[in-house]
Amino acid sequence: MVTIPLQEVVGKIAALTDHRDVDMLEVSLLKTVNEMLKPTWAAIFHVSENDPPEFSVRICGEELSHEAPAETFSALASSQGITAFSIVSRNREVIAYLLMSRENSLNPAEHQMMSALFRIYDNYLSVLKDSQIDRLTGLLNRHTFDFQLEKALNLIRDAYKDEKATHQRRLKDAGSFFLGEIDIDHFKRINDSFGHLYGDEVLLIIARILQSTFRKSDLIYRFGGEEFVLIVYVDNDTEADMTFERLRRTVENHAFPQVGKVTVSIGVTRIGNSSMPIELLGHADQALYYAKQNGRNQVCFYEKLLADKKLHAHKNSDDVTMFEEQS
């Protein structure tokens, strides 16, 4: 049995909840289990409605890895010497599994300690998710975007550096991230004509359309009001164009209760290896502004507008990129 002083336990619980990010909270849970129970390895698998549990992160000794094991979850969970724990939410739903390999089986006190850790984890996870979710639509909120975009950009930069270093394939053949800014056309008119109740219903329906149009790995945010932002990964520019155009057509062809036809304007920009958050939002916003000023209900790509000389970029004395629409 692993015996840990009460003061140290309290310290580890404090460390577990000293995060403002869901992914880091998960890593912190694994590290806490690793320090308290000294397993050979431990791993967390996420649970989704229709798919088998999906690997998230693993710890072995002090080393963390996000590389999925060769074995399936079922094969690992049924292996000798593996203990599988269900992480259950306050709604009594299994949200994840923690698999652990250890020479000695856990005793009742250690099982009880694991249950207490999972309760703390779920309680704090709920608090974090509540702070990251838009209450009306259930989408991620603006605050979460500000944090996750910087994380996403760092990952993209690391990927570019790794690819450049290994020369495994040419960068132009790699997939790309795109940021799209979506704005509901004439939304104020909808609220004024039909009332805010129907305006909220339009927002909810568009949120559902976004969720059904894009993959689970894509990031969807409500920025407030009638504006949404997406971060998507696609193979090339053509697929990006098809993806955002499909969204535009889906909204246009949907029959909204009482309101009838609703359209959206979309501004899109590529996320590059040297992109900055304020620069990306500026690019997408300029493309969106052009779409709304030139007929609405269309998708405009910032890079194409520049190439077609419909926008002009220049830099001011502070080295911040500014934009002008060309007549």
Residues with a catalytic annotation lie at: 226
The Cα 124–Cα 130 span in angstroms is: 10
Reference 43, options 25, 64, 24; nearest CA is 64
3-state SS assignment for residue 237: helix
Q: Which residue has the tokens 């609220």?
A: 191
Q: Which residue has the tokens 């920025």?
A: 223
The secondary element (H helix, E strand) that includes residue 213 is: helix 196-213
- Dihedrals phi, psi of 300, to nearest 5 degrees: -125, 130
67, exposed or middle or buried, with CB in 10 Å at 0-12, 13-18, 19+?
Answer: exposed
Reference 300, options 182, 203, 211, 206; nearest CA is 182
311, exposed or middle or buried, with CB in 10 Å at 0-12, 13-18, 19+?
Answer: buried
Reference 115, options 90, 151, 86; nearest CA is 86
- Dihedrals phi, psi of 75, to nearest 5 degrees: -65, -40
